[in-house]
A and B are shown apart, each in its own frame.
Chain A
């Protein structure tokens, strides 16, 4: 599991920039971002090099930010690799609440949250799915 930083933001121009500037000034590098929005607000999900520091900086700036654990898998960059990784969860009835992916160092990274993290962890272990740690992510990113 890795730490994901989430920020609750008002739908107003300049808010995202404010977050990015704060992180930039602290020398924190973004690995991936994902924004989901509704009519009224957005949730910005961020994978960053120093999640604890990033969260503290945003909170101190008065932002509504927190950290939570998400799964991160590192897949070979070829057709069907995501499908086979997800298939294991589907067979066991574990639901994916949200998922986003990106390429890093020639590998496909899947970030997701499930509705049964305990079971999901067991599946990952049983199926030898290739997890990637916080440190490895930061490493590849450099």
Chain B
């Protein structure tokens, strides 16, 4: 199902032409409405009329998370406050939070793009869809909610928390689709097990998972435990929220709503654009946003882009799986380690729960990685040698994937905190 074939299946020439026109317009708009961008462009000796086609985008300055913090709260807002109908804020665990203001038109574009995602997953007006992202300052809850309403399906604003009640609603209302983080989906499966609710008792068919990186193994696990098809849903609050890209039934890359969000891949060190297919940092330019348009915003997410028509009929550029964040990547004894690598190893075992935590310490000037994992109850034994053998087996698997030795720490099932938002998977105790 394709919600907006005009845009999602546009020919490449038409799309590039549309993007070029919109880019010129947005550069002109920020030049006249955002002093931060006007100064930057003037410093670089760029006039809005210099930007004629989408290829001119490489001349434009980058925007970083730090720029947003430095201009807290409204410094990068282009529209007057009277036009802003909503604000969201990203978590400000370090420094200022990021405030994003949306105009009525922005909310409309967001809902439209979110409807594209849902329709690609197979959601129609006939479905009852539960949004289990947090409602509030986080964009997940309301963003997905408006998309479901715009599409015309029935939305159940479950939010996070009260999982038992949620499971009851999933069963009793015959809920067919759900949007949540992949770790919450696993938490849901675990809670169902505890309550004795089987996947045959529920009618979930579609899962839209996003807001944290996940792996193919995690997809298989969620799909088999909840009996649904799991699709990637990507977005970030600085650019809009969930809706920026989505998987179709092919599950081969996520289609980007590139008539609104223009993607580039750059080398995070040299900032040079990389050719299609290379892995690097994902950068987005908002082509139509009124509230807080951003030029070449560095997402810190590492992935690659794919061109070419998809078997589903869409022509839009697709992004590969997020391999990690350029700032989440751990360098341990000089080796790059991504939490997603550890996750794929743990999910390939049957003895451990799909929950883990990485702890990095520095002992005697040497980095030490500890992987904390939960032993599934059915594999619990009172025999220490068997437990030690399990630790060793996992440690060896990790070594072969990470190229560094990791200490495995066994924990009883249910020990690690189940996140309902972004998981706290890494604890770095090194004072660097």
Contact = CB atoms under 8 A, between A and B. Distances in A.
B414 interface: yes
A40 B375 contact: no
B382 A41 contact: no
B412 interface: yes
Given A4-B382, A68-B382, A40 B410 contact: yes
A45 B382 contact: yes
A9 B409 contact: no
B124 interface: no
B380 interface: yes
Interface in A7-29: 8-10
Interface stretch (A58-66, A82-90, A116-124): A58-66
A38 interface: yes
Contact of B382 (A6, A10, A63): A6
A97 B414 contact: no
B375 A36 contact: no
B412 A10 contact: yes
Nearest to B385: A97
B384 A43 contact: yes
Contacts of B412: 8-10, 41, 63-64
A41 B380 contact: no
Interface SS of chain A: strand
Contacts of B381: 6, 66, 68
Nearest to A44: B382
Contact of B380 (A64, A98, A113): A64
Contacts of B375: 8, 64
A42 to B, nearest CB: 10
Interface SS of chain B: mixed
A4 B413 CA distance: 20
Interface in A63-83: 63-66, 68
A6 B384 CA distance: 12
A45 B411 CA distance: 17
Contacts of B382: 4, 6, 43, 45, 66, 68
Contact of B383 (A38, A40, A41, A97): A97
A11 B410 CA distance: 11
Nearest to B372: A40
Contacts of A10: 411-412, 415
B383 A64 contact: no
Interface in B354-384: 375, 377, 380-384
Given A8-B375, A36-B384, A38-B384, A64 B413 contact: yes
A38 B375 CA distance: 15
Contacts of A62: 414
A27 B382 CA distance: 24
A95 to B, nearest CB: 11
A41 B414 contact: no
Nearest to B410: A41
A10 B413 CA distance: 10
B415 A6 contact: no
Contacts of B411: 10, 40-41
A66 B381 CA distance: 8
26 contacts: A4-B382, A6-B381, A8-B375, A8-B380, A8-B410, A9-B412, A10-B411, A36-B384, A38-B387, A38-B388, A40-B410, A41-B412, A43-B387, A62-B414, A63-B412, A64-B412, A64-B414, A65-B380, A66-B377, A66-B380, A66-B381, A66-B382, A68-B382, A97-B385, A98-B383, A113-B383
Interface of B: 375, 377, 380-385, 387-388, 409-415
Given A64-B413, A65-B380, 4 more contacts: A38-B388, A40-B409, A41-B411, A66-B381
8 closest A-B pairs by CB: A6-B382, A64-B412, A8-B412, A40-B409, A64-B380, A8-B380, A43-B382, A64-B377
